[in-house]
C-alpha cells in the first residue's frame, strides 16, 4: 500500500486485544483527503487505540491500515513523516513564550526560516498578540490552539486530534473548534476522536460511532439523522440552547473567542 492517491486513511478489519480484553473487534472506515472525520464513542470504546495504531505507536493484532497511502505496519517511517498527533493534554513548554515554542519545534525539524514559520502560525491561530508571553499565562483554549499550531510545523497532510477539548471550559472549546475548522480550510485531513456529541456535530464531515470495539454507524450528520426521523409535533417553541444562554450571559459569542484572552492564569 504505497502512493498518495485515494482516501487519506483506510482501515480494514482492525483488531486489538489486551490479554482477555477485546478492545477492537474488526474496525473498518475510510477518511477522505481534506475532510474532518469524527470517531465518536464513550470512554473505553477504543478510540485512542485506533489513533495509536494509525500513528504507529501500537501494532494491531489483525487487519490493515494505511495513512496517506502508506501501510502503518510495513511503512511506519513514511507514515510518521505524513502525520502529526495531538493528545488530550497540551504538549507545550510553559517556561517559553508561544513564539519560542514554535521556533524550537521548527528548528528541531531543521526547517528554514523558523521565525517566519512561527509568526505565520501565530497569525493563523489568532495568537500574535500573545506570542511574546510565557505559555504559563495562557488560557486553556490558547494552549490547545498553540499545541495544534505546533503540530502543523512541517505541513503534515494528516493530523490526529485525540479528544482535543478534554477538560476545557465552554468558551475554550469553541476556540479549539475554530482552530480545527481552520485546518480543514487549508486542506489538512483531520481525524478527531471525541466523546462529545455536540463536538462531532459541529465539526465533522463524517461521523463514525465506535461502540464495544466496532463501528456501528458511519455517515454524514444528515445520514445519521435520517436513521431516526423526527417526531411529529403540532407546535414547536424554539428554546435557546445552552450555548446561546452561555454566550448571552458572558457577553461574547463563538466568533469573539479571542476577546478575553488577556486573562492570566
Q: How far is CA 232 from each of CA 77, 118, 227, 235, 236, rounded to the nearest angstrom? A: 54, 53, 15, 9, 10
The domain total for the chain is 1
The pLDDT value given to residue 74: 96
126 is a domain residue: yes
The pLDDT value given to residue 253: 62
The pLDDT value given to residue 11: 97
The pLDDT value given to residue 259: 43
2 is a domain residue: no
The pLDDT value given to residue 146: 93
The pLDDT value given to residue 254: 57
261 is a domain residue: no
Nearest to 159 by CA among 37, 26, 25, 62: 37
172 is a domain residue: yes
The pLDDT value given to residue 229: 74
Question: Per-block average pLDDT, block size 10, for the chain (265 residues)?
Answer: 74 94 95 95 90 96 97 96 83 93 93 95 93 94 90 92 88 88 90 92 93 92 83 72 73 55 42
1 is a domain residue: no
Q: What is the pTM of this model?
A: 0.82
262 is a domain residue: no
The pLDDT value given to residue 89: 65
Domain hosting 84: range is 9-256
**Phi and psi at residue 121, to the nearest 5°:** -70, -35
Nearest to 162 by CA among 76, 22, 40: 40
264 is a domain residue: no
207: CATH: 3.40.50.300
The pLDDT value given to residue 83: 95
4 is a domain residue: no
The pLDDT value given to residue 29: 97
Amino acid at each position: 500500500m504505497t502512493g498518495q492517491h485515494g482516501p487519506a486513511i483506510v482501515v480494514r478489519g482492525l483488531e486489538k486485544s489486551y490479554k482477555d480484553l477485546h478492545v477492537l473487534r474488526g474496525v473498518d472506515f475510510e477518511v477522505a483527503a481534506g475532510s474532518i472525520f469524527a470517531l465518536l464513542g464513550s470512554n473505553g470504546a477504543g478510540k485512542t487505540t485506533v489513533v495509536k495504531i494509525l500513528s504507529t505507536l501500537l501494532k494491531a493484532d489483525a487487519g490493515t491500515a494505511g495513512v496517506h497511502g502508506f501501510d502503518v505496519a510495513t511503512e511506519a517511517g513514511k507514515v510518521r513523516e505524513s502525520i502529526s498527533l495531538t493528545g488530550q493534554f497540551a504538549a507545550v513548554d510553559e517556561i517559553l513564550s508561544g513564539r519560542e515554542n514554535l521556533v524550537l519545534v521548527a528548528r528541531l525539524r531543521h526547517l528554514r526560516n523558523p521565525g517566519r514559520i512561527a509568526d505565520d502560525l501565530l497569525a493563523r491561530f489568532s495568537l500574535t498578540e500573545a506570542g511574546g508571553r510565557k505559555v504559563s499565562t495562557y488560557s486553556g483554549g490558547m494552549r490547545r490552539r498553540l499545541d495544534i499550531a505546533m503540530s502543523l510545523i512541517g505541513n503534515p497532510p494528516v493530523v490526529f486530534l485525540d479528544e482535543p477539548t478534554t477538560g476545557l471550559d465552554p468558551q475554550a472549546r469553541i476556540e479549539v473548534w475554530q482552530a480545527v475548522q481552520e485546518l480543514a480550510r487549508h486542506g489538512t485531513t483531520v481525524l478527531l476522536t471525541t466523546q462529545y456529541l455536540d463536538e462531532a456535530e459541529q465539526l465533522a464531515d463524517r461521523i463514525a460511532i465506535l461502540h464495544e470495539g466496532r463501528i456501528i454507524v458511519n455517515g454524514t450528520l444528515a445520514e445519521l439523522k435520517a436513521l431516526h426521523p423526527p417526531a411529529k409535533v403540532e407546535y414547536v417553541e424554539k428554546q435557546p440552547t445552552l450555548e446561546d444562554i452561555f454566550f448571552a450571559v458572558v457577553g461574547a459569542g463563538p466568533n469573539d473567542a479571542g476577546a478575553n484572552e488577556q486573562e492570566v492564569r
